[in-house]
Amino acid sequence: MGVLGLPAVVGITLLFGLMRKELALILLFSALGTQDVLKVMSVTQIFTFTVFVTFYIPCLGTLAALGRELNWRNSALICLLTFVIAVVLSVIVRFVFPVL
């Protein structure tokens, strides 16, 4: 559990989510070892995870396209900005909707 209040095993799904974003949600079942995520995570944690995955670092294909179209410096700034937005929005979700 960190600032987002998510189980540590969820971090693995975020790493693989860099390949393809939709894989992060699918891999959540495998990482938690169950199809019933509500037995392992609260609704607030699931919502926090979903918001974070939606806004965090773009997938590798998007990063490559950004790097080629803009430049690698701007691509890195975009990644940093989207990561910060993802963390801020997820923390807001975690603390504003703690009893979902």
Could you tell me the residue ranges of all domains in the chain? 10-96
> What is d(CA 38, CA 78) in angstroms, rounded to the nearest whole number?
33
Render pLDDT for 12-59 as a digit per residue (tens, 0 to 9). Answer: 888 887 888 777 878 888 888 778 888 888 888 888 888 888 888 878
Phi-psi region of 5 (alpha: psi -120 to 50; beta: other; left: phi over 0): left
1 pLDDT more than 80 = no
Backbone conformation region of residue 64, classed left if phi is above 0, alpha if psi is from -120 to 50, else beta:
alpha
pTM: 0.81
Coil/strand/helix, residue 42 = coil
Between 16-25, 65-74, 89-98, the lowest mean confidence (pLDDT) is in 16-25
Query: Up-side HSE of residue 81: CA atoms within 13 Å toward CB?
Result: 6
